[in-house]
Amino acid sequence: MEDYLKAIYEAQRGGADPVSTSRVAASLDVTAPTATSMMESLEERGLVEREKYKGVRLTTEGETVALEVVRHHRLLETYLTEHLGYDWATVHDEADNLEHYISEEFERRVADALGDPTVDPHGDPIPDDSLEPVDDAPGRTLEDCGEGERVVVQRVRDRDPDELAYLDGAGITPGTVLRVVEVAPIGMVTVEVDGEQLSLPDGVTASIFVAAAEERADANGVA
């Protein structure tokens, strides 16, 4: 049930439209009938509101539950990378396995050990222990940028380990400043990183979320 609430939360962040059952099913790799059955259960428990033929939205209670799971997940990703030597490319699945099974006391101790971080290794904001909604809209991606722009990486989508390993090897992580050198019509974007040029395909640039380098990304502590 928590997996479904988290999937809905991640799908609806930054937007007001209902989340379709098919989208949730695809995210969790389950069949549409299975997802529909769970949506009915979530509605009965007051965790989602359903619009016929459109999809679902989290209720306030449902969002609170989802935020708690998201907090667990992102704290665990941070702890695993900073204290147990996990690579940021592989930590997502490990955190997925653990997020439902930690106590509130364990969560508090992890947060204390980390100094109450505000973002995880991929740049995603970590909800605080009040579980108030956070600004979780991903923002602009590198593929939306024009030639000559200087941008700072704020977040990197964490679902593709191979992609994350590639970006890590290229030195592209949250906080990295990039200059867009060329945007090719075939979807390839060439950027300059620490004086070196690197060409990235559109599938990768769509996973890199950025802000203008002149702006301060206060939520992520990036200048």
Tens-place pLDDT, residues 82-135: 999 999 999 999 999 999 999 999 999 999 999 999 999 999 999 999 999 888
- Give the residue from 96, 111, 134 where a domain finishes: 134
pLDDT of residue 221: 43
Q: What is the pTM of this model?
A: 0.87
Pick the last residue of a domain from 134, 157, 187.
Answer: 134
Q: How far is CA 82 from the centre of its chain?
A: 18
Q: Looking at the structure, tell me whether residues 150 and 192 fall in a common domain.
A: yes
| Domain extent for 144 | 140-220
Tell me the helix, strand and coil percentages in the chain, rounded to 5. 40, 20, 40
CA–CA distances in Å: residue 159 to residues 154, 163, 213: 16, 9, 25
Each residue's pLDDT tens digit, 138-176: 789 999 999 999 999 999 998 889 999 999 999 999 999
Lowest mean pLDDT, pick from 105-119, 180-194, 202-216: 202-216
